[in-house]
A and B are shown apart, each in its own frame.
Chain A
Amino acid sequence: MSLAIAGMGWMTPLGSGVDSVWERLLQGHEASPTTISESFSDRSYTAFRVPEAAMAGVRYPRLRRASVISRFAAAAGLDALRAAGVELSSQNAERTALIFAISNGGVIYTKRFYGDIVDTGAQSASPLLFPETVFNAPASHLAAILGITGATYTLVGDGAVGLLAIKMAEDLMANETLDRCLVVGTEEVDWLLCDAYRRWRLVRLAPPIEPFSKDQRGTILSEGAGAVLLTREGSLTIESADPGGYFTKRAEAGKILKRILSDLSQKKIDLVISSANGTFVDRVEYQAIRQVVPDAFVYTGKSALGESVGAAGLWQIVLAAQALRSTELPPVLHAGLDISIQLSHSRMPIPGARRAVVLICGLNQQAAGLRLAIDI
């Protein structure tokens, strides 16, 4: 069953709004790095954060005490509804499902909540912070803002979770009591995450992210949200969502990616939106793309926007949709010229492009893909 994208929302370190962020990407802009430090450590890291200005319009009483992850999600979700011209009421909210994709969740409040316990004991644990540490807190806030009374799900996973959420939407929409499904991916960045990923040798200390580089120097974490409103009919469709599988060794990831790409390239693929982020992911994706769809144009937005993990899948879908709509690709920043796949090293027209594959190899053992098509 194919689903149509009726509207999209985007909150990124390059600002908010699909058209605005897309234009900046086309112009070759890159998010500004922020140094993150922590009082109890002399280590500091670099991350791409959402600028304060992008959050200016996000004011809801329900979000008064919520962490930024919930604000990002609300902003992107509401943008997707607005873009689709959908206003939810008590009549149609019940026929709308909400699915969230999250990886690390509300890590800022979780760290603060547990930090109080570690520093001064259980008696200092805050009953106000605890509910915000729960994975589904962002979804519950957005459901309350929108008045959704039916199905609300939060999926957790690695960077592939956004595509698993789309697959879930496809399964839910098989039920005719639903008219639409809002899928939101969201993530917030914190020092603790940077430190964890660094100890795992996945994060580098400063930009740039060098996609597809043999050196695999690491990625830079970022934050924000992406959202798509899915309905049954429209010109931009998700033709096929492949939930992929898991890999236990990095070497096995390539097999899964090749299988996903082979399945999704039953119809001619014009471009691949890759999850290459400067880590081991790049080599496995590179080899799979080169072997299965060598003629497809390839783009990754991670060198400009960073690795937003739980939000990343939705960001890639927005990128694919924008590329098909505008028949243009932004430049892949900081990529070497010796890479033998069809990377868009500069802003590049892709006339006649009809189909795109979103390919994701997550950092924590999950891989998935989907195929978008545009009907012109």
Chain B
Amino acid sequence: MTARVAVVAAGVVSPLGFGLTETVDSLRKSSDCVSLVTRFSVGQCRCKTAGQVSDDRLLAMRGDAPRSRRLHRASHMMMQALTEVVTQEPQFKPELTVIGTTSGGMSYGEHYYRSLRQAGDLRHAPTWIANYPAQKPVIDAQESLGISSPCQVIANACASGTNAIGHAFECVRSGRYQRVLAGGYDALSELVFTGFDSLQASTPEKCRPFDRRRTGMVLGEGAALLELENLDSAQQRGASILAEIIGYGISTDNFHITQPDPSGIGPRQAMERAVQSARVSENEIDYINAHGTATLFNDAAEGKAISELFNGVPVSSTKSMMGHSLGAAGAVEAVVCLLALQHEFLPPNINFEAADDDLDLNIVANESRPAFLRTVLSNSFGFGGTNASILMRRFEA
């Protein structure tokens, strides 16, 4: 049995904005939402910028109750995204929740270690420890909105969010589940920021995906959720169908723990498998939201795979606008794809100055463009050689 899989609600918080309306506005205006990092010292790092979600707005949304203040900001992001979803679909009761992340409540782990190491104040240690586990923000968000489904938390590095949506899609398509909540979250942390800086993967300049002069990524943060439902079930209960997920591909390339195989085999297999899973042809793809981190190696491998598989399809990396939110990225970018389908435009790849002669790509350079889209593809690739792609389609009854 294979069922069609509908997206019936979506929620997002990212540097582009709180909610779908602000997000589509930022995308259309091609806003640069990357700013100087303020959460921790970056004085010794090459890179000093990231896409950041406003704490003031997060707390304003969640209130100032003592319990709320103790929660990790990742929990607040998840609550924000889930609130938006539940507002659209109050009747949706998921049987399973699948969420991607890379670092859980890492910054609380940092506070704890730093306080231990520097003989600091450990009075809040139990709070930091309790809010550190990766499942905690998911449970906090579900509890706050009365959702009780079991949660699987996928940590496949930067592919996590797309893996979560892809796995949720397969769960519904197989007929084993009717309704699954899926998405991803990650909050900036000093450890991860410094880690990418130490690898010289992040840039002291602007993030310029696929540009000849690209020098690396900037990090970001956020959370995004999609409610996936068996299409027949959603239609029977009169739910709004925002789009369909139609395909998912996953591959592992085993080349190196932090670098993709330069041949592009990993991304290529993920995209091929997604297209095969959707039973469509490469020619039907109208837009690709690339992983596009702006590192030399990622963009070279991904660009090669895209140019080999797709002929002149418009491509952009929206990480240029908001940074790379790691475990959240695939979910946030799935929401970007959803908005592009709904609002009929191509999201931009900003900071683009000069095409890379080695990459034959049709980049949506600097400005969003109106476009009627039917089928779009979103890529996410991560450390450990994990690669994932999903295909989303405009819903046509």
Contact = CB atoms under 8 A, between A and B. Distances in A.
Interface of A: 40-41, 98, 102-103, 105, 110-111, 113-115, 117-119, 121-123, 125-127, 130-137, 139-141, 143-144, 147-158, 164, 167-168, 171-172, 174-175, 192, 195-196, 199-200, 243-246, 248, 364-366, 368
B113 A136 contact: no
B114 A244 contact: no
Given A148-B252, A172-B170, A243-B152, 9 more contacts: A103-B133, A150-B251, A152-B386, A153-B156, A171-B170, A175-B170, A196-B125, A246-B135, A365-B136
Interface in B190-211: 190-191, 194-200
Contact of A136 (B142, B157, B176): B157
Give me the 6 closest cross-chain CB pairs, A-B, nearest first: A140-B384, A135-B155, A130-B195, A243-B150, A122-B44, A125-B198
B87 to A, nearest CB: 22
Contact of B191 (A133, A366, A368): A133
Given A140-B386, A171-B171, A246-B139, A122 B154 contact: no
A185 to B, nearest CB: 14
B152 A164 contact: yes
A98 B114 CA distance: 35
Q: For chain B, what secondary structure do more than half of its interface residues adopt (helix, strand, loop), or is it mixed?
A: mixed
B42 interface: yes
Contacts of A125: 194-195, 197-198
B252 A149 contact: yes
B294 to A, nearest CB: 18
30 contacts: A114-B191, A115-B117, A118-B118, A122-B44, A122-B194, A125-B194, A130-B195, A130-B196, A131-B199, A133-B195, A134-B102, A134-B157, A135-B102, A136-B155, A136-B386, A139-B384, A143-B385, A147-B254, A148-B252, A148-B254, A152-B384, A154-B156, A155-B155, A156-B133, A157-B152, A157-B153, A158-B133, A199-B125, A245-B148, A368-B150
B130 interface: yes
Contact of B252 (A137, A150, A368): A150
A130 B254 contact: no
Determine which residue in A103, A131, A153 has the highest number of CB atoms from chain B within 10 A of its CB, and name it: A153
Contacts of A121: 44
A131 B44 contact: no
Contacts of A364: 133, 135-136
B114 A168 contact: no
